Amino acid sequence: MQSEEAIGVFDSGVGGLSVLAHIRDCLPHERLFYVADSAFMPYGCKSNQLVEERCLSVAAFFAEKKCKAMVVACNTATAAAVHHLRAMYDIPVIGMEPALKPAVGFSRAGVVGILATSGTVGSEKFRRLKDRYALDATLIVQPCPGLVEQIEKGDLDSEMTRSMLGSFLQPLMLQGVDTLVLGCTHYPFVAPLIREIVGETIAIVDTGDAIAREVERQLQLNNLLRSPLRLTDDRSALVKFGTTGDIDQVEPLMSQLWGKDTSPKQLLF
């Protein structure tokens, strides 16, 4: 039965694990297959054509595995390829976008800061999204070059990471933002450090929970929800991992961020 098949989730590296965690918590009975396309990490500074090609390659792998839905757990990849994937595959394809709508709703002062990769900031999809909410709030976009790479090193709270974040956040704070959007799936992993820097008065908005609820909605609409957990189910065994990168480099970081052993499979495509 198709409802028994896995949901495929991918990102250019380990950032999408933040989204995977929300999906697992929302749908603990579902089978999940996470792919870190680490050999091509990060997508944010790559050409649109290359990002699209990688998304098509990962999607073809998920199709081969008969995944019943795909989650593009990357803002840059969503902007580059989600429309192609939806045209090619007759299954739910859920993408990401910075959570501007809830952020504008949260903001008391009407000043919202957006942390994002250069690839997201430069996309037409992001420009259209920004224009949609620009009348309701002042939206200040802050590209964060190098931050994904720091997170991919597992360097979540060093002085170098703190200094980098400070240089990105200080201009936003000086302009009076009271709400901050994490516009990349990697960034939730440094949310505690961001909180230390900005203090308690600035709201931090992550899209992972909303994406998980959209996955649930799409599965319900398509009658693809898996039956609730059986007594024989091993919850940890329901989640599998793979990477196109170097296993010896990726596995320790993936397990660190996931909080338990991931034992990713080596993927060649």
Per-residue burial over 177-186, b = 16 or more CB atoms within 10 Å of its CB, e = otherwise: bbbbbbbbbb
Helix/strand/coil (H, E, C) string of 31-96? CEEEEECHHHCCHHHCCHHHHHHHHHHHHHHHHHCCCCEEEECCHHHHHHHHHHHHHHCCCCEECC
Q: What does the CA dihedral 147, 149, 150, 152 come to, rounded to 10 degrees?
A: 130
**Helix, strand, or coil here: 242?**
strand
Burial class (CB in 10 A: 0-12, 13-18, 19+), 245: buried
d(CA 189, CA 46): 22
| From 55, 67, 144, 184, active-site residue | 184
Active-site option among 55, 67, 74, 144:
74
Q: Nearest Cα to 181, choosing from 123, 135, 125, 138?
A: 138
Q: Is 74 considered catalytic here? A: yes
DSSP 8-state symbol, 229: P
* CA pair distance 268, 8, nearest whole angstrom: 16
The set of catalytic residues is: 74, 184
